């Protein structure tokens, strides 16, 4: 148990402040810097965790094109998956008939790929 006179150090805040002031530092370098400057031992894994959680909470995706875990799809994305433009049951039936005439989906895809190259 800590003494009543000791002030507890907020390591997460120290990590955030250090990263803000020195954005090029990696976790290992930052760990050494915090020990040297503030006398606080912080594991590089904790530094990585704190910074990645900040990115998630800040709304910045961890990877380009991927939303953070737990985020919901926008309504427009959910709607476009359920019914794309021009895609309805009649079009799907026609696509199936075409695939059957051509000998299967693979052959139909190959033909459509060749056709799309002609129109580029």
Res 70: pLDDT: 66
- What does the block give as tokens for 77? 């994305």
Q: Above 80 in pLDDT, residue 103?
A: yes
- Kindly state the percentage of the chain with pLDDT values over 70: 72
Confidence at residue 81, expressed as pLDDT on a 0 to 100 scale = 46
The closest alpha carbon to 16, from 70, 68, 53, 69, belongs to: 53
How many Cα atoms within 13 Å fall on the side-chain side of residue 14?
A: 21
Question: pLDDT (tens digit, 9 = 90+) per residue, 37-82?
Answer: 989 999 999 999 999 888 887 755 555 555 656 666 655 444 444 4
Answer yes or no: pTM beyond 0.85: no
If one counts every other C-beta atom within 10 angstroms of the C-beta of residue 15, the result is 23
């Amino acid at each position: 148990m800590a003494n009543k006179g000791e002030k507890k150090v907020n390591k997460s805040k120290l990590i955030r402040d250090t990263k803000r002031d020195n954005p090029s530092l990696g976790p290992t370098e930052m760990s050494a810097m915090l020990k040297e400057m503030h006398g606080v031992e912080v594991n590089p894994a904790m530094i990585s965790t704190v910074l990645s959680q900040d990115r998630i909470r800040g709304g910045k995706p961890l990877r380009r094109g991927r939303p953070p875990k737990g985020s919901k799809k926008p309504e427009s994305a959910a709607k476009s998956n359920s019914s794309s433009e021009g895609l309805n049951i009649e079009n799907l039936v026609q696509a199936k008939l075409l695939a059957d005439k051509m000998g299967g989906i693979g052959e139909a895809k190959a033909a459509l790929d060749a056709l799309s190259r002609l129109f580029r």
